[in-house]
Amino acid sequence: MAPIFASFTAIAAYLLTSEVTKKHGAGLLAALFIGLAPSYMSRSVAGSYDNEGVSIFALVFSFYVFLKACNTGSILWSVGSALSYFYMVASWGGYSFIINIIPIFVLFTLVTHKPEEAEKFNKIVTAYNIFYILGTLLAMQIPFVQFLALTSSEHMASHGVFIIVQFYQFSQFIKKYIGEEKLNVLFRYAIIGLSIALGAGFILLLLLGQTKWSGRSMTLLDPTYAKKYIPIVASVSEHQATTWSSYFFDIHFAIFFAPVGLYYIYRNRDHNIVFIGIYAVLSVYFASVMIRLLLVFAPAACICAAIGISWLYDRCIESIRLGW
- What distance in Å separates the CA atoms of residue 270 and residue 268, rounded to the nearest whole number? 6
DSSP category for residue 212: -
Task: State pLDDT tens for residues 223-256.
Answer: 665 566 566 665 666 667 778 888 888 888 888 8
pLDDT confidence of residue 80: 93
Beta strands of 30-99 (E only): which ranges? Answer: none
DSSP 126-155: HHHHHHHHHHHHHHTTSTTTTTHHHH-GGG
Give the pLDDT of residue 210: 58
pLDDT in tens, the chain (324 residues): 888 999 999 999 999 999 998 889 899 999 999 988 888 888 888 887 778 888 899 999 999 999 999 999 889 999 999 999 999 999 888 888 888 899 999 988 888 877 777 788 889 999 999 999 999 999 999 888 888 788 777 788 888 889 888 888 887 777 777 766 666 677 677 777 777 877 777 677 666 665 555 555 555 566 665 566 566 665 666 667 778 888 888 888 888 888 898 888 888 878 888 899 999 988 888 888 888 888 889 999 999 999 999 998 888 888 888 766
* DSSP-assigned states of every residue in 15-32: HHHHHHH--HHHHHHHHH
Query: Quick one: DSSP state of residue 243?
Result: P
What type of residue sits at position 250? D
What's the number of CA atoms in the CB half-sphere (13 Å) around residue 179?
3
Sign of the CA dihedral 156, 157, 160, 163? negative
pLDDT of 31 reads: 93
CB 291 within 8 A of CB 240: yes
The per-residue pLDDT for 209 is 64
The confidence score (pLDDT) of residue 317 equals 86
Of the CA atoms within 13 Å of residue 28, those in its CB half-sphere come to 4
Model confidence, pTM: 0.85
Query: What's the DSSP call for residue 298?
Result: H
How do the domains of the chain map onto residue ranges? 2-323
CA distance 254 to 37: 8
